[in-house]
Structure 1
């Protein structure tokens, strides 16, 4: 293999400091150093034009490595700061892991504004001020229900990006009522993270709905991935309402139980409407009688919630939505940032 057109991949471990990451990222964006590995990457080299290699969570399939150029990362950061009307000197706080594209994006945006990211990943106590930050829905839930210090930090920011997983309307409404200026983001590693804010495409980005209902994205933020005439076709279903994108759910999260189609996203949305203070996850397991069986996992110790959830789903959706089991867990397993690990949940039921 001709290695002259390739560069080394360097992955930083948990002992490395934030300045180490910033320095490594700056060098990766130029020809001065190796590409930066983000997460558990296995490749040791990439093409010379690749600056970042991201290991995806693989929450619904085989983990992948996504290659991003400096141009894509820069386009994403520039468009994000422009949408938020961030100015030179504004600060970003880091509340997300640097093993994920969302954490790297915080560094990119801060670098563009000429400021150092405020590292709050393992912070305890009162939080310092930052103009902008990015979190996942679980962190918003925790701020509203148990972490008053984090809540004050979010309230003091000009805008708080919330992405990485589906943000329910009820949770968003709670956050808004608490005085948090929430901007819901949609994107993935293949799009350099969030590229659609509150249903609006960032500068240079476009979206459409494919004939099968899946969301298509184009623009300079796309990774070095397979495209269909310039479009990246996601595995998410969506619709366009008044020019804005509404994400319906995963194209592959519909199960068939007893001949009935059941959307796991719809199940979770219905529970969230009735129980906005509960963290829940719908998942399925193979079933010899029904084909696939619906289960619900709840972050709770309240036994009464089992029958209450079943009743709500039967009344709202129908008898076919009655779960085979409701698991009470101290904490819902996650993979990546804010994504429920449905594979681990299914294993718990099968054990």
Structure 2
């Protein structure tokens, strides 16, 4: 089967080319592979029934190409419309080579109108978001953002925030949404819907902790999240061993740990991020949630660092609230705040999870479309510092 490569560079013109290619693929035409400029093109044949091939490197940096059928893309888009209470116009404000961006295109096409596209060639700008929103006109409106974009709009206020308030649903995924950022969005009147999913599930398939219609969620004996249902990919392009390891018995075995809390799925972070300290297992994402929920903290990233005594120790980079724009904070976190943060983690997660290193940073390093860069964070935390824990 022919694979149609569409290079997307953040421009509305390249997004329109992708819309046309995806429309044809959903109707049985050539499979589409959206790529950013300069990204390598695979030579393998995706096979019959493929509508979309998505390149993903994940956190390991190993290139994979996820194979998705038109049926999986349609199932995801229709389930989203059902969960959100109906179809409408969509704004594409995400890079279109990622599955979340492509799904905005698919949802728009199934709703009967192509998406309005924000120009991202100079990066995401709140004022450009406001201008693009005005092109949607009246009626039901939805968009999809990552937490970094949501935070920038809230910080900007003004026309951008007014525009965001006008959406019936703002899907937020790609990285964990901190409690403080969600609270800010709620207080500002933004209709946030958190999403969890990946390229292998045709994008977000769990909204606000609850699976979409037709999606199955289970946890294995180790707490690993398993996803199943109509939105699953067919596997990885030209990678039978990877496909067999991840897809089996109608399930996709994710790299994430989770638990059920009050009937909702809570994602605890990647299994390979777990820190074993003194024989105890600590999930960084769980510690980050506790830290980010405390007053005085805008964001946090937790990593494990080598330690002679404990094997690995828990270390946290924290972005204090109220810092001067463009001015890095004192790395030595305020002692009163540091002790309050440690006490909160101890009370919620136990002694082993308490960060032995707490350091203030101006911003959490990010990769991709907004995921925390734990390797870069670890480098920051291993620079000369004093250990106050």
In the superposition, the TM-score normalised over structure 2's length comes to 0.79
Q: Contact 2:276–2:282 (CA<8 Å) still a contact in 1?
A: yes
- Equivalent residue for 1:223? 233
* CA shift in 2, pair 1:143/1:57, >3 Å: farther
Q: Contact 1:256–1:262 (CA<8 Å) still a contact in 2?
A: yes
Please, which of 325, 329, 334 is the counterpart of residue 302 of structure 1? Answer: 329
**C-alpha distance in 2 between matches for 1:307 and 1:276:** 13
Q: Contact 1:41–1:54 (CA<8 Å) still a contact in 2?
A: no
Q: CA deviation at 1:238?
A: 2.3
Q: CA deviation at 1:48?
A: 3.1
- Equivalent residue for 1:198? 208
**C-alpha distance in 2 between matches for 1:121 and 1:269:** 32
Q: Contact 2:8–2:97 (CA<8 Å) still a contact in 1?
A: no
Which one is further off, 77-86 or 297-306?
A: 297-306
Which one is further off, 224-233 or 56-65?
A: 56-65
- Equivalent residue for 1:266? 286
Is structure 2 residue 258 aligned with structure 1 residue 248? Answer: no
Give the length in aligned residue pairs: 343
**C-alpha distance in 2 between matches for 1:109 and 1:277:** 36
* CA shift in 2, pair 1:240/1:314, >3 Å: closer
Q: Contact 1:59–1:340 (CA<8 Å) still a contact in 2?
A: no
Name stretches of at least 5 consecutive residues in structure 1 with no aligned partner. Answer: 1-5
- Equivalent residue for 1:19? 16
Q: CA deviation at 1:104?
A: 0.6
* CA shift in 2, pair 1:241/1:325, >3 Å: closer
**Per-residue CA shift, 1:144-180, capped at 9, x if unaligned?**
2234333222200111111111123332222112111
- Equivalent residue for 1:55? 55
Aligned-pair RMSD on alpha carbons? 2.6
**C-alpha distance in 2 between matches for 1:113 and 1:157:** 16
Which one is further off, 219-228 or 24-33?
A: 24-33
Structure 1 residues 146-295: aligned runs within 5 Å: 146-225=156-235, 226-275=246-295, 278-295=298-315
In the superposition, the TM-score normalised over structure 1's length comes to 0.87
**C-alpha distance in 1 between matches for 2:83 and 2:203:** 15
- Equivalent residue for 1:344? 376
**C-alpha distance in 1 between matches for 2:20 and 2:177:** 33
* CA shift in 2, pair 1:322/1:227, >3 Å: closer
**Per-residue CA shift, 1:41-100, capped at 9, x if unaligned?**
54123223222221224225634221111111111111111211223xx21011111121
**Per-residue CA shift, 1:116-156, capped at 9, x if unaligned?**
21112435354334410111122222222234333222200
- Equivalent residue for 1:3? none
